[in-house]
Amino acid sequence: VEAMPGLVYLALVPGLLAFTLQILGQRRVEAVEASIIYTLEPLFAALFSNLTLGETLDMLQAIGALLILASTLLVALGEASIAKEEKDLARYHPPLNNTINAQCRRSPCSPQY
C-alpha cells in the first residue's frame, strides 16, 4: 500500500511523457518516415537493454533484428524511388489543372458540362 503512489507515478508519467513526445514528433515528419522510425523501435529497445542491462540477443532474435533492418531499408529505398518518379513526372507532365488554367488565360473559358 505504501508503494502505490510510486507505482502509479511510474505507470502514468513515463507512459504519458513518451506518448506526448511521440505525438509531437509525428507532427514534424511525414507518415512514411514516422512508420520507419516506429518499425525500428524494437531494435532500439534491444540496443538500450544491452547497453544499460547487459542483455544479449540469441541467434533467432538477431535474425529477427536483421529482418527488421532489411525491411526498413527496403521501405526507405522504395519511398525514395517513388518520390524521384513523382518528381520526374511533375517535371515532364504538368498537372491537368495548370494546363487548363493556362488555356483559360489565353482565351475565355466556359465550363464543359
- With b meaning 16 or more CB within 10 Å and e meaning fewer, what string describes 7-43? eeeeeeeeeeeeeeeeeeeeeeeeeeeeebeeeeeee
Task: Assign residue 103 a region (left: φ > 0; alpha: ψ between -120 and 50; beta: otherwise).
Answer: alpha
pLDDT grade for 42, boundaries at 50, 70 and 90:
confident
Mean pLDDT of 18-23: 90
**Residue ranges of domains in the chain:** 1-30, 40-113
4 residue type, one letter? M
Beta-carbon contacts of residue 49 (< 8 Å; ≥ 6 apart): 55
Q: Per-residue pLDDT tens for 54-75? A: 999 999 999 998 998 898 888 8
Specify the pLDDT at position 110.
55
Mean pLDDT of 21-29: 90
Q: Per-residue pLDDT tens for 79-95? A: 767 777 777 777 776 66
Q: Look at residue 110 and give its three-state secondary structure.
A: coil
